[in-house]
Amino acid sequence: VPELPEVETVRKTLQDLILQKTVRDIDVFYDRIIRRNTPQEFKSILEGRTITDIGRYGKYLLIHFDDITLVSHLRMEGKFYYKEADNPKEKHEHIIFYFTNGMTLRYHDTRKFGTMDIVQTNDLYSEKSPLSNLGLEPFDKRATVTYFQQKIRNKRIPVKGILLDQTILTGLGNIYVDEVLFLSHLHPETKATELTKLDIKNILLNSTKVLNKAIKLGGTTIRSYTSSLGVTGRFQNELYVHMRKGEKCKVCNTEIVKSKVVGRGTYICPKCQKPTR
């Protein structure tokens, strides 16, 4: 459940389920998910508090308890489930929040890559927060061509690496980067230094389009073993290239090919995305 549209879908679902719920108790079964506090501190800070809002920035989920915020990153496989307290603990449930109404919120993470940080709400975008180094979301009004150009100054890595770098734009992951590059007619190996103003304009426009459409469809569900909290999206039917190796390009009928770019599985249409123009 990792890229911006999937996290947004989780946010909306949680908003309906856990707003105004009060935490009675917390069980932590795997310590390393909690980064800035010991599990004991984590428990004592949150127990007795009431959830006042659920937000999101980039791929981070923000569970607000008034003046403090639980900043959660789902990484590769993090999921939240909302269940009755008497449900048995499942193998990959690592943190369980017990609410005063007899329900629980359970953090489930097969690979244990996810993270949680407690931050003062006032410090959310300061150095004390994991959000401090993130770039703008693509649909932010301030995410202009000039902003992007300034961020990629001195960078000569492939454009795929640029779009995966959360300190430049935040929210895109491997799926949506492949889609944005396809829609922008850009080969993923194109060097950042070779991007024209028009290329950047296209990248920003297509990032916004793809993310908004994916949010509308509830995100993308690929390789999802279980249907997590509100995360059975429908955007997978809209994909042009990602996960479509061997299938025909929806625009020109050429076969989609898979390669590796900046260490990541990468899908392109070799006709629509030429290396040089």
Nearer to DNA, 3 or 137 (CB): 3
State the residues that interact with DNA by CB under 7 A: 1-3, 6, 32, 58-59, 73, 75-76, 91-92, 110-113, 130, 133, 153-157, 161, 164, 166, 173-175, 192, 219-225, 231, 260, 262-265
Q: Which of 56, 59, 79, 106 is catalytic?
A: 59
3 is catalytic: yes
Residue 24 designated active-site: no
Number of helical H runs and strand E runs in the chain: 6, 10
- Both tokens of 55, joined, read 């937000």
The structure tokens listed for 150 are 């300034």
Of residues 130 and 138, the one with the C-beta less far from DNA: 130
112 or 128: whose CB is closer to DNA? 112
Active site residue 59: yes
If one counts every other C-beta atom within 10 angstroms of the C-beta of residue 68, the result is 17
Residue 151 beta carbon to DNA: minimum distance, rounded to whole angstroms: 9
Catalytic residue among 75, 128, 264, 270: 264
Catalytic residue among 3, 77, 137, 189: 3
Q: Which is nearer to DNA, 87 or 259 (CB)?
A: 259
Q: Residue 237: CB partners within 8 Å, gap ≥ 6?
A: none
Query: Checking phi first, is residue 237 left (phi over 0); if not, alpha (psi -120 to 50) or beta?
Result: alpha
Report the side by side order of strands in the sheet with 60-65.
Answer: 53-57, 60-65, 68-73, 115-120
Which residues are identified as catalytic? Answer: 2-3, 59, 264
